[in-house]
Chains A and B, each alone.
Chain A
Amino acid sequence: MKLLGRTFRNYLLYSTLLLLVCVPLFYFFIRQLFVKEMEEELFHHKQNFQNTATYIVTDKDLKIYQLLNEEFLLTEASQWPIRDSLFSYKAYDSVEHEIIPYRALKCGITIQDKNYQLIIRESIVGDIDLIERIVIIQISLLVFLLAGFILINQNLSKKIWSPFYVILEKLKQYQIDKDTEIKLPSSNTTEFEDLRITVEQLVSKNRNAYLSQKEFTENASHELQTPLAIFRSKLELLMQTHNITSEQADLISDLSNTNDRIARLNKNLLLLSKIENNQFPSKQLVLLKEAVDKTLSLYKEKTEGKKIKITVTDKTETKVNVNPALLDILLSNLISNALKHSTEESEVKIQIETNSLLISNPGEPLKNPEKLFQRFNRESRISIGSGLGLAIVKEICDVEGFKILYSYTTQHCFQIKF
């Protein structure tokens, strides 16, 4: 939910609650005020009546008076004295054809030494009418309030919140491995200015950490090359010594194989960090088929040894704009991967299509296909690979802007979209 939506929802909720509480409250207070005023009026009428009553002399006067003043109901008193009392009642109004509520004052009055009971009545506004009005007023108030709120907020979100949205957009676009630093617009609003400074600091800290980590991998790999070279050279010198027993020879051979493995691992790590560090910038158009054939020639012996049949189909003559060295590594890693995991006398298929390359080989499904491109992920520890081959493939695809997909139906299939 959007920030403004959330605020608006809360406002709406609060306003509705306020409305629900206010309507009965208003009703109660207004009603009370009204009735009080009415009662004062009634007593005032009584006073008036008493003052004018002195002018009533005959019964005829009384009759006229009553006809002129409908609200005065004068009857002969059945009991005496009559205490002043207030009461409400409803009666049918012949003019308006509806039942109207009245407030009335009952009191005793003496005219010409005769005791009368006087009821003075005053019609009051109906409850429903009153509530209706209050609700209408309140709802229109609410509507205007919220409409105003939305308008003001929309305006605000455009103006005041704009630095926030700019920062958000910039952060979304920021890529730690590509962009050098993040440039954010400054703002007059303290909070946004704080946000900007904090974000910039955070990004620069992260970037430094990322760089030093990247540098570390590269430096560590570099530094390892020399000790590896020393180790390898000493092993070779050891091989030159005389009277080596077969037991010693086996040990030396094992050491030599292990040393080669470390050297390869280190070489691949170094390669990976070089690709990450964009040290292969130059590009040129390469005919894909040619590059594939070149790579296949490197593995000719391997394929012959395992009696693997390789079929290459190319009907498109697709050319790729790529760093040639990276393309070689990419193809070499994918093809060697396919060869390594193919059983003897199987078939590896390489299909070149318009802007895509498919390499498939038969084999058992993977246990963890989602980890396929992760560093040092290996399905088994038995294979001699460095565990970096496909990570390098992925990195090259990322750097060159290719897309790599892996799927398994009956065969392992890698597809690269250029």
Chain B
Amino acid sequence: MKILIIEDEQELAKSMKQYLRQESYVVEVAYTAHEAIEKVLLHDYDCILLDITLPDGNGLGILEKLKAESKLDGVIIISARNSLDDKIKGLNLGADDYLAKPFHLSEMGARISAVIRRKRFEGNNAIVIHELTIDLIGKVISFKNKSIELTRKEYDLLLFLVSNKNRVVSKNAIAEHLSGDAAEVFDNFDFIYAHMKNLKKKIAEAGCSDYIKTVYGLGYKFEG
């Protein structure tokens, strides 16, 4: 799986690259719009992470170029501006998702895997991990063809962990992923513990072994 990161902030690009490499992605980085256009025209990528504020031009220009060349790889726009206009403009130009800075790397990981799954496995959209099957269309999971009843939040939580499998996902990232802006009001992480407890219980009841590990003080990790 090939991913291109177009980001002028070298340190951020480095972090993103390092995080994604752990998930066996092949990652390339372009620091300027010029460099990015060269790479995009030469290679095909499964997903492009595009910062729209670049020193030598607006990232939306690259998006237009991609559209003109009908090379619409999965594009996730990254922006420090978090403006609704940019978001709408980007999505209208064919971008698949929008990520506002500062984002959690695990959130980025989840978005990338969602985009790639959507592009690659259009109809047959399911993740199989160990004996667990996650049906992304019906939003249900099953163990050995026996479905496990999960609430929406539990399903989101499991998918978030699986999308970042073998990596520690922080409580903060989970809180923001599950509650969005409402995360601000939660002055503790009790609700995550509650959801996690229920999720683990339901998976255990189905007879599946516990792949979700608690990492002391930090968060959780799905071992795949």
Contacts and interface: CB of A to CB of B under 8 A. Distances in A.
Contacts of B105: 232-233, 236-237
B185 A249 contact: no
Contacts of A249: 215-218
Contact of A225 (B80, B180, B181, B186): B80
Contacts of A267: 82
Contacts of A226: 9, 12, 80, 101-102
B205 interface: no
Nearest to A252: B218
Interface string A168-205: 00000000000000000000000000000000000000
A234 B186 CA distance: 24
Contact of A236 (B170, B176, B179, B216): B170
Interface string B206-223: 000000000111110000
A382 B71 CA distance: 52
A308 to B, nearest CB: 12
Contacts of B106: 236
B56 interface: no
Contacts, number: 116
A246 interface: yes
Given A230-B9, A340-B185, A252 B102 contact: no
A260 B217 CA distance: 16
Contact of B170 (A229, A256, A299, A325): A256
Interface string B6-17: 000101100110
B167 interface: yes
A222 interface: yes
Interface in B166-224: 167-168, 170-173, 176, 179-182, 184-187, 190-191, 215-219
A269 to B, nearest CB: 12
B102 A263 contact: yes
Contacts of A270: 82
A302 B170 contact: no
A235 to B, nearest CB: 8
Nearest to A221: B80
Interface in A213-261: 222-223, 225-226, 228-237, 239-240, 244, 246, 249-250, 252-253, 256-257, 259-260
Nearest to B10: A230
Contact of A384 (B19, B22, B104, B187): B187
Contacts of A229: 9, 12, 80, 101-103
A264 interface: yes
Given A230-B11, A301-B191, A332-B182, A239 B19 contact: no
Nearest to B217: A249
Given A228-B101, A336-B184, A233 B83 contact: no
| Dominant secondary structure at the A interface | helix
A128 B103 CA distance: 101
B9 A233 contact: no
A257 B84 CA distance: 27
B185 A302 contact: yes
A178 to B, nearest CB: 21
A350 interface: no
Given A234-B15, A237-B18, A298-B179, A253 B80 contact: no
A268 B186 CA distance: 16
Nearest to A336: B185
Interface in A308-337: 325, 332, 336
A230 B80 CA distance: 12
Contacts of A233: 12, 15-16, 19, 105
B102 A305 contact: no
B81 interface: yes
Contacts of A299: 182, 185
A302 B172 CA distance: 16
Interface in A263-318: 263-264, 267, 270, 274, 279-280, 298-299, 301-302, 305
A393 interface: no
Given A228-B101, A232-B102, A252-B217, A240 B167 contact: yes
**Chain A CB within 10 A, most for which of B100, B168, B171, B215:** B168
Interface in B46-84: 80-84
Nearest to B168: A239
A239 B172 contact: no
A109 interface: no
B102 A225 contact: yes
Contacts of B215: 239, 249
12 contacts: A222-B81, A225-B101, A228-B102, A231-B102, A233-B12, A233-B19, A239-B168, A246-B216, A252-B218, A298-B182, A305-B191, A332-B181
Top 8 nearest A-B pairs (CB, nearest first) are: A249-B217, A233-B15, A229-B102, A225-B80, A228-B102, A225-B101, A298-B182, A336-B185
Given A259-B172, A301-B179, 6 more contacts: A229-B103, A233-B16, A244-B218, A279-B83, A279-B85, A305-B190
